[in-house]
Amino acid sequence: MPDMPDTTINLLGLDTASLAKLVSQWGDKPFRANQLSRWVHQRGVADFDQMTDLAQAFRARLHEHCCVQPPTVIERHQSTDFTRKWLFDVGQGNAIETVYIPEDDRGTLCISSQAGCTVACPFCSTGHQGFNRNLSTAEIVGQLWWARHELTASGIGHRLPTSPRSTQPLLTASPNASVHQPLDRIISNVVFMGMGEPMLNYDAVLGAIRLMLDDHGYGLSRRRVTVSTSGVVPMIDRLAQDCPVALAVSLHAANDALRDKLVPLNKKYPIATLLAACERYLAVAPRDFITFEYVMLNDVNDSPAHAAELIQLAKQISCKINLIPFNPFPSSGLTRSPAMRVKEFAQRLQAAGVIATTRKTRGDDIDAACGQLAGDVIDRTRLTQRAAERKTILIKEVRS
């Protein structure tokens, strides 16, 4: 990412309310903020001179004080299943990863919120890298801004559901996108499931969410923005008050003894405390269920007894279980549950009346699948060193 003067304002980090405050300080009328937001986020324009309906004096002030600067792309990869992954430079030797997953009825962007992660789940590649810092709102939104810009420029025609009598998509991407359809549904869903624990970078993530929901920004609905958390209970309650969107919880075990090993944060916020927070969240959530993510680890959490425990948990709260076949990486020491065992596990849940789906693995040939995002992080927490020292002990504990 190019160095910018400390006083330069990156507009990718300001929602419409913040823009309105800035414009007001300059003595301009509030509608300028809406115009500017649409130019930046809906049309993806970074050159102020191209914002032709803004007064020349206003554009001059933008040149003097502001910029539109997403993180710089270092690498890009495309999978055989058309999943795309970008590696973004976020400065000081750190890089983050962002993934785009196209499907027949949606286009989902998986974005990162931190350079690394402090939660250190043993099955997650990011967690094995340690942690450097939180991303700013501009760096978070910049991933969405850049992905939409590149996908549109490449002429991608992401399909929405077709009409019953036609095989033609109802809407496709266009470089001349209408401001009334800000994403043209190239990116219809955004999930905070990339690198980092979003709830441990709450303020920046909240600012990014508000921009994604803003009608002058990206215009997404609350149902189409999902925050995934390993269970930071106080921040779940804050999000319920501030800006409730869809919530996914990385569960991975239905008893505290095992979850303490798989999700270390459970020692601070055990399952009963987490479920109570989820129940409170449901009162204001845009969906009438919480998604519980459950990675399937061979001989760790995939037995019939584990399924029975998960069934009992699921009966306590309105939820959907998303089973995730583990995507191995060399330093984990863990392996994926056999496909038949995953299928039988899902069938046990479904037979008990629990809504359960198995996530299709996407982008694993470019290390873009769930749990594989690693980026490039200079660990300032010594987490990787400590993890290496206890790796053998941890794996033995998980399997015991």
Residue 231's identity, in one-letter code, is G
Among 97, 139, 197, 293, which one carries the catalytic annotation?
97
Q: Rg (Cα) of the chain, in Å, rounded?
A: 22
370 catalytically annotated: yes
β-strand partners of 309: none
Q: Is residue 194 domain-resident?
A: yes
Residue 174 — pLDDT band, cuts 50, 70, 90?
A: very low
Reported as a pLDDT band with limits 50, 70 and 90, residue 123 is: confident
Among 20, 51, 67, identify where a domain stops: 67
pLDDT score of 177: 37
Range of weakest confidence among 85-99, 117-131, 383-397: 383-397
Q: Which one is predicted more confidently, 360 or 162? A: 360
Q: Please tell me whether residues 20 and 147 are part of one structural domain.
A: no
CA distance linking residue 400 with residue 396, whole number of Å? 6
Which range is least confidently modeled, 127-136, 343-352, 375-384? 375-384
Task: Select from 67, 84, 117 the last residue of a domain.
Answer: 67
Angle between helices 233-242 and 271-282 (to 10 degrees): 0
* 2 in a structural domain: no
pTM: 0.86
Same domain, 93 and 123: yes
Query: CATH number of the domain that 301 lies in?
Result: 3.20.20.70
Same domain, 44 and 116: no
Q: How many whole angstroms separate alpha carbon 347 and alpha carbon 397?
A: 28
Above 80 in pLDDT, residue 388? no
- Among 124, 141, 105, 131, CA closest to 19: 141
Catalytic residue among 121, 243, 278, 370: 370
Cα separation, 181 vs 207, in Å, equals 21
pLDDT tens-digit profile of 242-291? 999 999 999 999 999 999 999 999 999 999 999 999 999 999 999 999 99
Tens-digit pLDDT profile for residues 193-241: 999 999 999 999 999 999 999 999 999 999 999 999 999 999 999 999 9
Share of the chain above pLDDT 70, in %: 81
pLDDT at site 380: 65
Is the domain of 96 the same as that of 180? yes
Task: Give the pLDDT of residue 36.
Answer: 96
Residues 135 and 45 both lie in one domain: no
| Per-residue pLDDT, 329 | 76
Give the model's pLDDT for residue 245: 98
Assign 61 a pLDDT band (cuts: 50, 70, 90). Answer: very high
pLDDT exceeds 70 at position 396: no
Question: pLDDT at residue 301 above 80?
Answer: yes
- In this structure, are 258 and 393 located in the same domain? yes
Tell me which residue of 178, 172, 148 sits closest to 159, measured CA to CA: 172
379, 129 contact by CB (below 8 A):
yes
What local confidence, expressed as pLDDT, does residue 397 receive? 64
CB 168 within 8 A of CB 149: no
pLDDT class for 332, splitting at 50, 70, 90?
confident
Is 327 or 213 the better-scoring residue by pLDDT?
213
Tell me: do 329 and 230 sit in the same domain.
yes
pLDDT of amino acid 328: 81
CATH number at residue 57: 1.10.150.530
Residue 366: band (very low, low, confident or very high) from pLDDT cuts 50, 70, 90 = low
In angstroms, the first-to-last Cα distance of the chain is 45
Answer whether residue 387 shows pLDDT above 90.
no
Q: Does residue 1 belong to any structural domain of this protein?
A: no
Q: Are 1 and 69 in contact (CB under 8 A)?
A: yes
Domain of residue 376: give its range: 72-399
Which residue from 124, 157, 117, 179 is spatially nearest to 295, judged by alpha carbons?
124
Q: How confident is the model at residue 180 (pLDDT cuts 50, 70, 90)?
A: very low
286 and 335 part of one domain:
yes
What pairing do the DSSP bridges indicate for beta strands 319-325 and 246-250?
unpaired
Same structural domain, 146 and 24: no
Q: Indicate the average pLDDT of the chain.
A: 85
DSSP codes joined into one string, 111-155? ---EEE-SS--TT-TTGGG-EEEEPPHHHHHHHHHHHHHHHHHTT
Q: Are residues 268 and 303 in the same domain?
A: yes
Count of structural domains within the chain? 2
- Res 154: pLDDT: 81
pLDDT digits (tens, 9 = 90+) for 342-363: 999 999 999 999 999 998 775 5
In a domain, 3, yes or no: no
One domain, residues 178 and 291 = yes
Report the alpha-carbon angle 127-90-141, nearest 5: 90
190 falls in which pLDDT band (50, 70, 90)?
very high
Q: In degrees, to the nearest 5, what angle opens at C-alpha 210 toward C-alphas 206 and 213? A: 140
Kindly state whether residue 335 falls inside one of the protein's structural domains.
yes
Q: How far apart are CA 19 and CA 68, in angstroms?
A: 13
Is 4 a member of any domain? no
**Do 259 and 115 fall into the same domain?**
yes
- Verify whether residue 243 is a known catalytic residue: no
Angstrom distance (rounded) from CA 194 to CA 374? 9
Q: Over 80: is that where the pLDDT of 379 sits? A: no
Residue 144 lies in a domain: yes
Neighbours of 66 (CB within 10 A): 18
Does 202 map to a domain?
yes
Task: Please say which residue of 43, 67, 91 terminates a domain.
Answer: 67
Q: What is the pLDDT of residue 278?
A: 98
Q: How confident is the model at residue 43 (pLDDT cuts 50, 70, 90)?
A: very high
| Least confident segment among 75-89, 177-191, 366-380 | 366-380
